[in-house]
Structure 1
Amino acid sequence: MATMKDIARLAQVSTSTVSHVLNKTRFVSEDIEKRVKQAAKDLNYSPSALARSLKMKCTKTLGMLVTTSTNPFFGEVLKGVERRCYEKGYNLILCNTEGDSERMKASIDTLLQKRVDGLMLMCSTLEGQEIEIFERYPNVPVVVMDWGPMTYASDKIQDNSYKGGYLATQYLIKHGHTTLGCVTGPLHRHQAISRFNGFKQALQDSNLILNPDWIVESNFECDGGYEAYHQLKATKSLPSALFVCNDMMAMGLINAAIEDGVSIPKELSVIGYDDIHLTKYMAPSLTTIHQPKHQLGNVAVDTLLSRLAQPQAPQRIIQLEPSLVERNSVYKIV
């Protein structure tokens, strides 16, 4: 790989002159500038990003950790992150944790050793894990996305899951449903318990009884929704409507119900959560709670860059608001 010394030798100028021409830090004559640029072109010179980052103490690179999942939600958020990084002139290094705490810690260590300017974490399956590695890199800013309470200082981006759960349940009640069930995510996770709490509060506000037989804790995946339907069916009676706490489980549950000969939504209404792209094209299309996924990605990058610019500013919690998307999976009872 060609260096500035090689260019200087070919152009017959000093190395400092080459530096001034390439970095535009001092005026040089038109003839010398032309010779230097031609020499750089002839040698196929490319400036060293590593050398520049060491000099500037900035790599213009961000790291992101996600939990590998079949859920398109993560891919849609990642698309927003990648686009925002590109718009801001930053590179992105992505690592998967596979839901493994040791792999997460090893990935964080690798990213920090590569001198990323900051980190974004979206590994909610590992919620509550102690990540002592951050103690070794106290000056690297961290933004946590879609996660529960933190044991270390970081900015946090989250959706208002409680409000989303309340909106979903309230919508079912306004459509005349009085027998309601809920398929939750893993209740040790912040999102799952918040959505379930919103469900319970909406029932309470409408003086409706919560039937424990119609509450199933599941795993936020399609197979969990599929199994949840069979658990509910085993109780011998189904509610008229279900709040399923993410779209992946809702898809699995609807599949199981249709296989069982149950009409969606006439015999069983279903509302999901996330508004992943696929749900628009289901049959019936899924009524759901929209999470602003691209905005989540954008805000995470902007928050991290803001932290880089103002490292001493107080940590922030930024809450994004959910909204209802009305489609065809909820039946209105006259």
Structure 2
Amino acid sequence: MANIKDIARVAGVSVATVSRALSTPSMVRPTTIERIEAAIADLNYQPNHMAAGLRRQRSDNVLVVVPSIYNPFTSAFVEGIENVARTSRMRVLLGITEGDRDALNTYTAMIAGKQADGMILLESNLPDILINPPAKGTLPPIVSACEYPLDHALPRVKIDNHEASALVVSHLAGLGHRRIAAVTGPIDLVMSQDRLAGYRLGLARAGIEFDPQLVHEGDFTLQSGYDAMVRLLDAGTPFTAVACSNDEMALGAMSALRARGLSVPDDVSVAGFDDLRFGAYASPPLTTVHSPTVEIGEAAMRLMLDALLPADRQPPAREVILPHRLIVRESTARVPARVVAGT
């Protein structure tokens, strides 16, 4: 059976370089990594992760903690994490909290128990160890993605939600819409607050007065988008367009409009956020903000690899902001001749 010496010989590198590539690949040049990976494939080398972990006090596992698995955003995010973890010889463990803080604390305890080396949070809650940090000792490696705590300097990755939401409103205003409604995510989430602030920023840039009656809260699900649209229509406040804080709520809103006999975009223009794969196949195809979900997962995993470096080589906690762009499809059009006032 092949060993590290065989890998080094075939790859034309030292044993120390192979060992470093397997344990901390970020310290090895990409071209060298490629040669070592080719040698591993040729020799069908199977590293003993458990034994290596015991020697280095590492499990080579990273926990990814999410509130739910039902949102398509989550699967794309985890796909990105797995892309980087696989090439770094790390294994991904998935934890689902359903909003339960006790579950989150249980997952965090796995790091202290050496079952995982660090944790990536796609989660609004914070583990107790961050809320009440120990007087002595170090905090476990934690990276936050998309939903981030304002009062903790964790490494984190996101998009510019302010500008992205403002971009949607600017697009709708450019089509002549002046009565633009909003369906937000849960308003206690920082991400939802950011997107609502961006909506207000877009209105201000277009010279449109903010009307709180046009803002309704959802929870990022299809049903909440449907329900929010029903509330908008029943309220009787005129509007001709709606900006939703994710694609699922946008599709729910479109369904509610159809149920009331209204057409998208002939009666109401609808825009979403995230650019999930099914949006392009909606009827009509959904205008949305492209959020690079897979790339967000990849960036979060790279931040985790940085956090797992020895303390004297760890870069300072930093924020990665990835680019967004507007995807214009058939769900938005110029303002209709009549104004929707509810039916």
Question: How does the TM-score come out when normalised to structure 2?
Answer: 0.79
Cα distance change, pair 91–130 in 1 and its aligned pair in 2 (3 A): closer
Residue pair 1:127, 1:147 contacting (<8 A) in 2 also: no
Secondary structure, in 3 states, of the residue corresponding to 1:82? Answer: helix
Higher mean C-alpha deviation, range 72-81 or range 307-316: 307-316
Residue pair 1:64, 1:121 contacting (<8 A) in 2 also: yes
Question: Which residue does 1:277 correspond to in 2?
Answer: 277
Residue pair 1:166, 1:201 contacting (<8 A) in 2 also: yes
Match of 2:322 among 320, 323, 326: 320
Alignment-mate amino acid for residue 326 of structure 2: L
Structure 1 unaligned spans of 5+: 1-17, 26-45
Question: Which residue does 2:102 correspond to in 1?
Answer: 102
Secondary structure, in 3 states, of the residue corresponding to 1:304? Answer: helix
CA distance in 2, matches of 1:57, 1:167: 47
Q: What is the CA-CA distance between 1:205 and the residue it aligns to?
A: 1.8
Matched, 1:24 2:5: yes
Secondary structure, in 3 states, of the residue corresponding to 1:93? Answer: strand
CA distance in 2, matches of 1:130, 1:185: 27
Residue pair 1:128, 1:150 contacting (<8 A) in 2 also: no
Residue pair 2:162, 2:201 contacting (<8 A) in 1 also: no
Q: What is the CA-CA distance between 1:77 and the residue it aligns to?
A: 0.7
Matched, 1:86 2:90: no
Secondary structure, in 3 states, of the residue corresponding to 2:262? Answer: coil
CA distance in 2, matches of 1:129, 1:182: 34
Q: What is the CA-CA distance between 1:116 and the residue it aligns to?
A: 2.0
Q: What is the CA-CA distance between 1:111 and the residue it aligns to?
A: 4.2
Secondary structure, in 3 states, of the residue corresponding to 1:243? Answer: strand
Question: Which residue does 2:188 correspond to in 1?
Answer: 188
Secondary structure, in 3 states, of the residue corresponding to 2:279? Answer: helix
Residue-pair matches, total: 295
Q: What is the CA-CA distance between 1:241 and the residue it aligns to?
A: 0.5
Q: What is the CA-CA distance between 1:57 and the residue it aligns to?
A: 2.4
Question: Which residue does 1:73 correspond to in 2?
Answer: 73
Secondary structure, in 3 states, of the residue corresponding to 1:242? Answer: strand
Question: Which residue does 1:242 correspond to in 2?
Answer: 242
Residue pair 2:69, 2:75 contacting (<8 A) in 1 also: no
Q: What is the CA-CA distance between 1:298 and the residue it aligns to?
A: 0.8
Question: Which residue does 1:7 correspond to in 2?
Answer: none
CA distance in 2, matches of 1:86, 1:23: 19
Alignment-mate amino acid for residue 65 of structure 2: L
Higher mean C-alpha deviation, range 307-316 or range 245-254: 307-316
Residues 294-305 of structure 1: pairs in structure 2 closer than 5 A: 294-305=294-305
Deviations 1:191-231 (A, max 9, x none): 11111111111111221122222111221111111111111
Question: Which residue does 1:177 correspond to in 2?
Answer: 177
Residues 1-334 of structure 1: pairs in structure 2 closer than 5 A: 22-24=3-5, 48-124=48-124, 126=125, 131-132=130-131, 135=134, 138=138, 140-309=140-309, 311=311, 312-333=314-335
Alignment-mate amino acid for residue 321 of structure 2: Q
CA distance in 2, matches of 1:132, 1:173: 42
Alignment-mate amino acid for residue 149 of structure 1: P
Question: How does the TM-score come out when normalised to structure 1?
Answer: 0.81
Secondary structure, in 3 states, of the residue corresponding to 1:219? Answer: coil
Residue pair 1:128, 1:149 contacting (<8 A) in 2 also: no
Question: Which residue does 1:6 correspond to in 2?
Answer: none
Alignment-mate amino acid for residue 296 of structure 2: L
Cα distance change, pair 167–68 in 1 and its aligned pair in 2 (3 A): same
CA distance in 1, matches of 2:195, 2:256: 23
CA distance in 2, matches of 1:22, 1:133: 45
CA distance in 2, matches of 1:202, 1:127: 31
Residue pair 2:104, 2:127 contacting (<8 A) in 1 also: no
Q: Which structure has the bigger radius of gyration?
A: 1
Residue pair 1:247, 1:273 contacting (<8 A) in 2 also: yes
CA distance in 2, matches of 1:303, 1:105: 21
Fraction of identical pairs, as percent? 26
Cα distance change, pair 64–326 in 1 and its aligned pair in 2 (3 A): same
Question: Which residue does 1:34 correspond to in 2?
Answer: none
Higher mean C-alpha deviation, range 103-112 or range 69-78: 103-112
CA distance in 1, matches of 2:132, 2:184: 32
Structure 2 unaligned spans of 5+: 7-45, 337-343
